[in-house]
């Protein structure tokens, strides 16, 4: 059921919660880009937010920040959200214009926050189980397996430091985690290129997050990785086989159960929703596999077979880099040149990545329309 919301309030709360909010992201807070752009211009025109423009080393950084009028607007409509924003700003170190890396870090966390929100995750600390033991009073929300919970890096850091103040987790590239059923999805932002990556540190940090969640009542036994990039071409740069030498940049690691790649746009928002709620997208899966026959009994490596040749078919719209790398290296050499199905905007990049190891095809237009219909925004203009 659709519900009406105050789009301006939504935008201002996200800006306040993020401290520094990227301008481009303001057009994706509800799924209606045109309406979101109008709301952003209204917030700037009427003085609820201010636009900050900084000359970085490699780019111009544009951020949105709340004004006093914006704080007053939130106070009059959602006092609880205002309290959360004040606590977030009070616990964060000050942001100076010269600290480009700090600003970009806040922008990266905001990307994870918005994508998680668009996927239906619970964001508000008042609606999800707290990670801090001191926040667990007589009543607090219990973890529900069907819900998706988002925890930001500062929430994880506070929980670690509560256990032992000698713990330091600031070196991790993690921009948040999503918890759903028995799986923890670690979010990372790669931007336009590969991430600087200390593999052992990141893997140890992911293990610590899993143990923390298990201690707080989440039945987590699987860790998956979601990497967000500004363009699909970044996925090819991220997918490099580990070798004997030390890598300073990201390498797809088998430490994680999966390593999904999402583009930083509306398509990535929809794909994240499909990854977290696959049952709701079964009509799309069936439509995408129309014309192919079910796999033989006992075969779970692929999703279907080509009716004429019997070639295996793998539905790879979520772009699992570990699967792509295994295909490229011939781990599935018993498969007769499999067919990889994906969306049109992914096809060329995945074909270049897999080369001759597989044939990459786009899903039909009917399947893509079905995907868009299932991922329509859940809100309407207030």
How much is the pLDDT for 315?
94
pTM above 0.85?
yes
Alpha helices in the chain (DSSP H): 7-18, 33-45, 68-77, 79-91, 100-118, 153-163, 199-215, 234-238, 266-276, 282-288, 321-329, 344-354, 365-374
Kindly report, as residue ranges, where domains of CATH 1.10.10.10 are found in the chain: 1-98
Cβ–Cβ under 8 Å, residues 343 and 365? no
* Secondary structure (DSSP) of 13-70: HHHHHHSSEETGGGGGSSS-HHHHHHHHHHHHHTTSEEEEEEE-SSSEEEEEEE-HHH
Return the CATH number of 1-98, one of 1.10.10.10, 2.60.120.380, 3.30.565.10, 1.20.1440.120: 1.10.10.10
* CA 223 and chain centroid, separation: 14
What phi and psi values does residue 368 have, to the nearest 5 degrees? -65, -40
Dist CA 155 CA 28 (whole Å) = 24
Q: Give how far the C-alpha of residue 149 lies from the chain's centroid of Cα atoms, to the nearest Å.
A: 12
What does the pLDDT read at residue 153?
92
The low-confidence residues of the chain, meaning pLDDT below 50, are: 1-3, 378-382
pLDDT in the model for residue 328: 85
pLDDT at 294: 87
C-beta atoms surrounding 142 within 10 Å: 8
**Which helix (H) or strand (E) segment is 229 a member of?**
strand 222-229
Question: Minimal CA–CA distance to 312: which of 331, 292, 290?
Answer: 292
């Amino acid at each position: 059921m659709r519900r009406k919301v105050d789009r301006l309030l939504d935008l201002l709360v996200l800006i306040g919660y993020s401290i520094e909010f990227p301008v481009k992201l303001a057009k994706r807070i509800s799924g209606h880009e045109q309406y979101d752009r109008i709301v952003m211009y209204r917030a700037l025109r009427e003085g609820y937010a201010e636009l900050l423009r900084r000359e970085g080393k490699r780019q111009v950084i544009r951020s949105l920040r709340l004004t006093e009028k914006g704080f007053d607007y939130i106070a009059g409509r959602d006092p609880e959200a205002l309290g959360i924003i004040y606590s977030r700003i009070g616990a964060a170190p000050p942001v100076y214009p010269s600290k480009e890396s700090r600003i970009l870090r806040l922008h990266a966390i905001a990307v994870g926050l918005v994508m998680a929100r668009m996927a239906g995750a619970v964001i508000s600390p008042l609606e999800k189980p707290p990670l801090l033991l001191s926040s667990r009073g007589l009543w607090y929300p219990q973890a529900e397996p069907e819900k998706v919970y988002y925890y930001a890096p500062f929430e994880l850091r506070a929980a670690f430091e509560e256990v032992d103040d000698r713990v330091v987790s600031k070196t991790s590239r993690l921009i948040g985690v999503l918890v759903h059923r028995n799986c923890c999805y670690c979010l990372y932002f790669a931007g336009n290129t590969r991430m600087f990556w200390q593999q052992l540190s990141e893997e140890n940090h992911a293990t610590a997050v899993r143990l923390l969640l298990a201690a707080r009542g989440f039945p987590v036994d699987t860790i998956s990785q979601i990497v967000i990039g500004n363009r699909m071409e970044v996925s090819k740069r991220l997918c490099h086989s580990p070798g004997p030498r030390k890598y300073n940049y990201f390498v797809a690691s088998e430490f994680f159960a999966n390593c999904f790649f999402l583009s930083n746009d509306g398509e990535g928002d929809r794909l994240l929703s499909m990854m977290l709620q696959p049952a709701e997208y079964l009509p799309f899966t069936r439509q995408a596999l129309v014309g192919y026959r079910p796999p033989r009994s006992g075969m779970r490596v692929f999703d279907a077979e080509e009716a004429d040749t019997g070639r295996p078919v793998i539905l790879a719209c979520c772009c699992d880099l570990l699967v792509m790398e295994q295909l490229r290296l011939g781990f599935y050499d018993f498969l007769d040149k499999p067919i990889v199905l994906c969306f049109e905007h992914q096809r060329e990049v995945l074909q270049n990545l897999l080369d001759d190891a597989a044939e990459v095809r786009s899903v039909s237009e009917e399947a893509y329309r079905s995907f868009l219909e299932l991922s329509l925004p859940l809100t309407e203009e207030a």
